[in-house]
Each structure stands twice: as structure tokens, then as C-alpha cells.
Amino acid sequence: MPAVAQPGELPSGWSAATAWRRVQGQLTGPARQEVRERAVQAVISRAKELLRHASRPLRREEVGWPEAGELDLEETIERPRPWAVGDVRVARLRPREADVVVVLDMSLSMTGEKIALVAVATAILWMKLETVSVVAFDTVPHVLVRTGEAAPLREVVRRILEVPAQGYTNIEGGLLAGWAQLRRGRHSERIGMLFTDGVANVGNDPIRAAFRFPRLHVVHVGEHHPQGARACLGMARAGRGRLYRARTYPDLPAVVRRAVRELFRG
């Protein structure tokens, strides 16, 4: 019989998030549910703290008067004369709309703390971009959130925390599953973000899969490994995206926050 911890002994705060992988099998009933909810809340709280002063990505849109916005004098003057009403141009900022899939390396080497930090990074994307699908992979891919699914943030985080770290590293499989989700999207802009160390040990060449994406950005996470570094750079180039480097998993959330700010500006 698994041991049942007393309420005062249950991990809380960030400790609940990092210990969840280790203790979940030792808990039953209300105690298990309580620690899981504490873990989920800790992940969301950390993501919100990182985003405290960040605004949602916006894009600049130019439209004709009498639409609301600020007069774009330079663009208006360049219009051929005589001017019609619609030649008076105004500019306004609207939320950036794109379908985004985040592809997570969740193979056997992932520990409780690493998974918690991956969940924080994904929560950042979810809160800033709203239309995010999530694919995890080990030997095979696992679709955690499908494109268009209206899953609340707490449920998204819970699903990530409960992915078992197992199997080998099939980056190609994860990318193909991610691309399948993007194809279901409704926005013209479709973007993939891959978190991985780049070291695949099953599947075919992931660089070939990266070519399918209109845009694929890669976050190379963890210790530098020549094979992984080459693969991450190759995938970013093949996907016409950027390569980011998070030298440790604790660096990952801040790197993703910076990526959102840079990649989805204007």
C-alpha cells in the first residue's frame, strides 16, 4: 500500500511542483489531489511573476478612416491625389493572432524540476498567445492540447506535469505531430516552438521534419553537446526560425519570455 502523507507533511509552493513527479505515486485520495493542485498553482504563479510587466504581443495594422486609430500622416500624404475618404490612413494596434504549437522533449532524462520548468515556459506562451497547442514526445508523440481546444491554463499545466518521463528521444515524431496540429489552425500565421537538447536517439532526421513548418523556432536547452547543437541549429534554419539557448532548465522560462517579446512584435 502506498504511504499516505499527513496534510502538514505535504509539499507546498514550488517544492510541490518539483516534487510532484516523485511523490505522486506515494499519495492517494485527497492528499494526492491537494499536492497536484499546489503544484499546478506554483507553476502558474511563477509564470505570472515572470510576465508581471509584460503586455500581450501586438501587431500594427493600417486601415482607412473613419476606422478608429491614430492618423498616419506620412502614409496619407503618399497617397495619390485627389484624396478620397479611404485615403486618409490611420494606424492601430491589435492583438497578434497566430496559431502556435509548442513541442516538448519529455524523454527519460526529464526530472521533476525540469518538467516543472517546462510547464512554466509553456504557461508563459499560453498566457501571452492564447491559441497554443501542446505536443510532448518521448519515443512517440503525445498530443496534450489540440489546436482549437479551449482548455483552461490549469488543465494545460496539469497535463504537462503528469506526462510520464519515459522512453527515448524522437524529435522527428514530435515535430511531425506538432505540424499536424498547426495544419488544423485557422490563422494565416503558424509557428512552432521546440524545446529540446537536440540529441535524438530514435526516429529519422528531425531537420527534414523542420522543413514542413512555415516558421519553427528552437530553444536549445541544457548542456552543450555537439550533436545536439548542430541539430538545433539545423532545425531552426530549416524551419526559417530563430535559435535560442537556455544553458540550464532554470533559464528556460526567461528565455521563452524574451522569445515571445521578440518573435511576436509587430
Residue 213 contacts by C-beta under 8 Å, 6 or more apart in sequence?
Answer: 175, 178, 179, 182, 190, 191, 192, 239, 240, 241
Q: How far apart are the first and last CA of the chain?
A: 56
Distances, alpha carbon 88 to alpha carbons 61, 77, 102, 172, in Å: 14, 8, 40, 50
Residue with cell 494545460: 156
> Is 54 in contact with 134 (CB distance < 8 Å)?
no
The pLDDT score that the predictor gives to residue 70 is 63
d(CA 195, CA 4): 35
What averages of pLDDT result for each successive group of 10 residues across the chain (266 residues)?
Answer: 54 92 87 94 94 57 58 60 63 67 90 93 88 93 94 95 88 97 88 95 95 96 91 97 96 92 66
The pLDDT score that the predictor gives to residue 37 is 95
Q: Where are the beta strands (DSSP E) in 99-208?
A: 99-105, 132-137, 141-145, 190-196
Asked whether the CA dihedral 28, 31, 37, 38 is positive or negative, the reply is negative
Task: Give the cell for residue 54.
Answer: 509584460
The pLDDT score that the predictor gives to residue 193 is 96
The pLDDT score that the predictor gives to residue 18 is 93
The pLDDT score that the predictor gives to residue 82 is 66
d(CA 53, CA 91): 24
Q: Where are the beta strands (DSSP E) in 156-240?
A: 190-196, 216-221
The pLDDT score that the predictor gives to residue 171 is 97
Task: Give the cell for residue 7.
Answer: 496534510
Task: Give the cell for residue 152.
Answer: 483552461
